[in-house]
Amino acid sequence: MTGQINGHTRINGQARRGSATIMMAGALAMLFLSGCGATQESRLAASGSPAGSATSASGTVVAQLDETSLSSTPSSESVPPHDTATTAGHYLAARQALYFNDMAQSADFFLRTLEGEADDVALIQQAFLTQYYYGDIERAAALGRQLESLNIVVPLAGEPATALALRNGDWPATQVLADRIAEDNAAMVMAGLIQAWSLVAVGQGDAGISRLLEAGRLAIDADRGMPAYFRLHAALMAERLGLDAEARQRVIGLHEGAIPAHVALPLAAFHARQGQWDLAEDLVEMRLSSQFNMAEVMGGLRRQANALPTIQEHIADAVVAMALEERAGNGAQSLSARLRFSLFINPGNHFARLLLAQNLTDYGQYDAALDNLGKVPDGGIYGQLARLSEASVFEEQGDIDSAIDRMQLVVARDPSNSYLFHRMGDSYRRDSRFAESRDSYMKAMALGRDTGGLHRSLGVSLERLGESEAAETHLIRAIEIDPGDAYALNYLGYWWADEGRNLDQAIAMIERAVSQRPTSGFFVDSLGWVHFKLGDAARAVGYLERATELEPSDPEITGHLGDAYWALGRYDEARYKWKLALSLSTDEEEQTMLRGRLESGLAPEDMPGHNSSGAD
């Protein structure tokens, strides 16, 4: 099998047959957020791509701005031009920019709209939110004060002013403004974190720790209890007060739990400052994913070991941890706003900048994402994460050469990291450079990587190179490692079914894949197609009709349905589907096959059951 199945061209052995291409640019660098060490690696293996398929980190920006304008949200680097000579034109341009998720232009146009409608409360609210989400904290603070003067209560309205007070170290003002934040029940935890550290800043350490734990009780989850970052920040407060013994006591056992990297790294930095290098190294080794350059992480911790972070730095870390926790729980708060808040009070928060870059990428704002990633320097704790994210953004833009160039630079800095070779192999494979992808995957294996995702991806590349026996071996190995790997199950099952081999096993594999991914049109198509190959066109047609509903623009699936209709004697419907498939196809070989179908119908050798002699 060399890239075609029954005359239907696949796309690089990738998503058309549900294989291993589920990476999205923004998701790439963020898979370290939720996991630790070996557990995270096992999830990566199951995902089929080192990038995984992490949930978007975008929060609820758009919904809070305008619930009615964004039922479907395309992404674009630029918004089509509007005639903005009038107030109405500015407003329409702002709405259109919002529709295209261009927060910078939307914020600008809403401000221009206000020039002609300065007393319009709805416009002030929209302008405030867009300025906050865009990151102009000072202008957002002014708009928030304007809303307050009008006695208009808007969620988040007090936060920009609080950020200003924090950046200026005005702790009495911070306390007052945090009380205002707390008037919004959904923001009480954030207010508590800010107030707690503000109390520490003015020497009221015991009151600060008490206020922190009070906020922690508000954040308790029925299943997970109090989030780990509260224990960490209680220890950091004690450390700042010079109570090192109490600080060490408060984190005993914390590193043994399933803490995410954004808690593990500040905890490792704490241990480094305490001279507990064995604990710091253990956290780095066990709680960080392979996307980190471990030597550079340890070097960064050593450079930071002799200085306490500022209180603003602690608050910025706490606010990001809170936002991530709330997103995982009920999603009620916007991660985007919290990231802007944190970066305003601590522009050097590289973790927040990575998250913001992901957020921007999710909304198609690639230039802004790359600008933020460029502010994360090489050689530090997050440098490698930033470069990997840059590679993902380039790939998302279709600039595969720049993505691979960036990956090669990363590999040169961390040449013993097997994950990086796996990731580079994925980039090559998506660019149809199958020999290079195979070699990268083999290098990953030589360095000790043995995950289902690696074997699956290697199997796909080998199959595309015509190395069928080796390809089957690795696809089977992928399923042995992860029996629930829907992509490997579907790929191998479809391959066998298309060639009329091992049909009983093939259908069982595809049924398992569909049970794992019931809304995948490609998987449902595979199930219909294997029934067709078994000679049961009547059963196949139901699955194929469902597959076309799930993937209406896919010519291969549409063509399959046409084949099934023809086998059932539904000739007009068959020709209609083949004609539609022809209009959808961009592949010359597939187009030639479909024209032949339209002219002569389904050839005898393509009728259902023709290859069934290869069944078990």
**3-class DSSP state of 466:** coil
3-state helix, strand, coil in the chain (%, to 5): 70, 0, 30
* Whole-prediction pTM: 0.77
What would the mean pLDDT of 7-21 be, rounded to a whole number? 35
Rounded Cα gap, residues 412 and 408, in angstroms: 6
3-state secondary structure 552-615: CCCHHHHHHHHHHHHHCCCHHHHHHHHHHHHHHCCCHHHHHHHHHHHHHCCCHHHCCCCCHHHC
Q: Evaluate if residue 420 carries a pLDDT over 80.
A: yes
Segment 220-271, tens digit of pLDDT: 877 778 899 999 999 999 999 999 999 999 999 898 878 899 999 999 999 9
Please, which pLDDT band fits residue 19 given cuts at 50, 70 and 90? Answer: very low
In this structure, of 27-41, 135-149, 554-568, the range with the lowest mean pLDDT score is 27-41
Q: What is the pLDDT of residues 174-219, one digit of tens each?
A: 999 999 888 888 889 999 999 999 999 999 999 999 999 999 999 8
pLDDT of residue 18: 40
Residue 329: Cβ-neighbour burial (10 angstroms; 0-12, 13-18, 19+): middle
